[in-house]
Every structure is written in C-alpha cells, then in structure tokens.
C-alpha cells in the first residue's frame, strides 16, 4: 500500500480505513455490474465530493457505462435547507438508466432535489448508490438502493468529504475533534 497522509490535527481518529473503503467499493462494483449488465448505465455524481468514489467505483465495474457530473450549491451547516444546481448534466439521459453516485447522504435534501431533477430529464430509472449514509439527520425520506457504510451522526472528512474545501484527498475517512467548529 502506498504512503498515506498523516492524520490532520483537526481530526480525532480514522473511522474507516483506506483498505475497508477499497474492499467495500469492490463489493459494490461487483453488485452493480450484475444489476446493470447490458443496460449502458449512466453514472452521475455530484461535484466535488463524489469524484473520488465514482472514480474508484466505475473501475470496480466490469460493464459498459458512461460518467456525467452535476454541481449543486455547497452545503453550509446551519445555512438553510435550499439546494441549487450550478452545473447540469452534459449528456441527455432521456430513457436511460441512471445511477446517482453520492459521497454521503445526510439530511437527504440534496439527493431529494437531484432525484426530482433527473426524473424531470426523462431518465428511464434513477437509483441511488451512496458510499456513506448518516440516517440520524435525515429530513427527506430518499430511496437509497446501495449503501457502502452506515455512519454515526458525526462530521467526517476524507475520501471526498471536506471541511471548508480541505481534506478531500485523505485516502481514509476521519472524524473531527469535538472542539472543531463547523461554520
């Protein structure tokens, strides 16, 4: 295994190791390859946090697929519940099966918004695959077909998840120290 970044001072501990993530992504890739065989599935993720997961997941899939990217207004803790799209899909997904690949589902508001948008684009089917699921804080009851890890109600960084834009490139997922303020 290659060298890993040292744990940042703002982090308490590693919650999910690089090896555990790789193993779970491989399992999801195998499952999804069987489910979507022969369908030319469109994998869609949300910039920027989903980049890391979609990049590993698509390479764990052994079927034909395409990638596309969306962007929505950034999440701000305590900053209101509205979600706004800042980049739409590049491809037409009319009548296509779409798999929304998310880094994390927390309140569910982001996925809820994106699901209705993808259905509005005329996708044949839309399923959600999230690497991390934080069910404790759910507001919108969104359907999640595939989950990597269910996690406790704690703010995480690494493998795409950021604290004010930082720490996305940690190859593992870490919990923050209690004293770190999320504003």
Binding partner of 156, given ligand IMP, Mg ion, none, CB within 5-8 angstroms per partner class: ligand IMP
Binding of ligand IMP by 170 (CB under 6 A): no
HSE-up of 163 (CA within 13 Å, CB side)? Answer: 20
Q: Does 110 bind ligand IMP (CB under 6 A)?
A: yes
Choose among Mg ion, ligand IMP, none what residue 149 binds, the Cβ cut-off being 5 to 8 Å by kind.
Answer: none
Residue 74 exposed, middle or buried by CB count within 10 Å (0-12, 13-18, 19+): middle
Give catalytic status of residue 106 as yes or no.
yes
Task: Report the residue number, 60 or 72, with the smaller CB distance to Mg ion.
Answer: 72
The stretch among 10-18, 21-29, 31-39, 100-108 that binds ligand IMP (CB under 6 A) is 100-108
Of residues 21, 58, 106, 129, which one binds ligand IMP by CB under 6 A? 106
C-alpha torsion angle, residues 36, 142, 147, 46 (rounded to 10):
80
Cβ 94 to ligand IMP, closest distance in Å? 26
- The residue count of the chain comes to 183
CA 138: distance to chain centroid? 15
- Element holding 121 (H helix, E strand): none
Q: Which positions lie near Mg ion, rule CB under 5 A?
A: 46, 49, 103
């Amino acid at each position: 295994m290659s060298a890993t970044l040292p744990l940042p001072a703002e982090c308490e501990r590693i919650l999910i190791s690089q090896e555990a993530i790789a193993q779970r992504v491989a399992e999801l890739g195998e499952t999804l390859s069987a489910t979507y065989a022969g369908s030319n599935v469109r994998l869609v993720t949300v910039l920027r946090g989903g980049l890391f997961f979609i990049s590993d997941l698509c390479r764990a899939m052994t079927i034909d697929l395409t990638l596309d990217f969306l962007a929505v207004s950034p999440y701000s803790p305590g900053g209101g519940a509205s979600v706004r799209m800042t980049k739409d899909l590049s491809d037409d997904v009319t009548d296509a099966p779409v798999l929304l690949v998310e880094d994390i589902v927390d309140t569910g508001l982001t996925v809820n918004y994106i699901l209705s948008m993808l259905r509005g684009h005329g996708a044949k089917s839309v399923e959600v695959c999230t690497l991390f699921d934080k069910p404790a804080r759910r507001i919108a009851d969104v359907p999640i077909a595939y989950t990597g890890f269910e996690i406790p109600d704690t703010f995480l960084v690494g493998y795409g998840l950021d604290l004010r834009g930082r720490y996305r490139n940690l190859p593992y997922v870490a919990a923050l120290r209690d004293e770190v303020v999320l504003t």
